[in-house]
Amino acid sequence: MGINRISQGSAPKLGVRSTRQRKAVIDVLEEIDNFASAKEIHHELSTREHNVGLTTVYRTLQSLADIGAVDVLTVTGGETLYRQCHDEGHHHHLVCTNCGRTVEIDGGPVETWAQEIATKNGFALSSHEAEIFGLCADCKEKVT
């Protein structure tokens, strides 16, 4: 999934430390609408002639994830992808498996189902994840 530049509104939280490198990573996150890997973000930083090491990108993304400033998605094969949070509340995603387009969605019945299953099995629900993958309307149209 490549980086798709789309300008977004509010910036993710900077967190405790605000450094030049952290700001550069956040600037890239503000301009992408799809999930992107640390390597893709690092490549974009290099294209913009920002001298930020890949290790710094990984650390920055992890710290942003820790404070809830980015959404994190682990895809088949174990790769972790990151995206700026646009919705501050609990939410899920529709992700196009072809172009990477991502839409934030409310969990609706998934929330009730997760709680019911946890309770039925004697668990106290602490969290859950539910992402939906498929083809967006544009990609579906190109295939048919």
The reply to whether domains 1-86 and 88-144 share a CATH topology is no
Q: Which two tokens stand for residue 67?
A: 């404070």
Q: What is the CATH number of domain 88-144?
A: 3.30.1490.190
24-43 average pLDDT score: 92
Encode 19-69 in three state secondary structure: CHHHHHHHHHHHHECCCEEHHHHHHHHHHCCCCCCHHHHHHHHHHHHHCCC
Residues 6+ apart with CB under 8 A from 71: 35, 82, 83, 84, 85, 93
CATH code for residues 1-86 = 1.10.10.10
| Binding-site sequence positions | 90, 96, 99, 111, 128, 136, 139
Q: Domain boundaries in the chain? A: 1-86, 88-144
Feature table: binding site for Zn(2+): 96, 99, 136, 139
**For residues 41 and 39, what is the distance between their CA atoms, to the nearest angstrom?**
5
Is pTM beyond 0.85? Reply is no
pLDDT single digits (tens) 70-121: 989 888 788 899 998 776 677 888 889 888 888 888 888 888 999 999 999 9
**Quick one: pLDDT band at residue 15, thresholds 50, 70, 90?**
low
Q: What average pLDDT does the structure give for the chain? A: 84
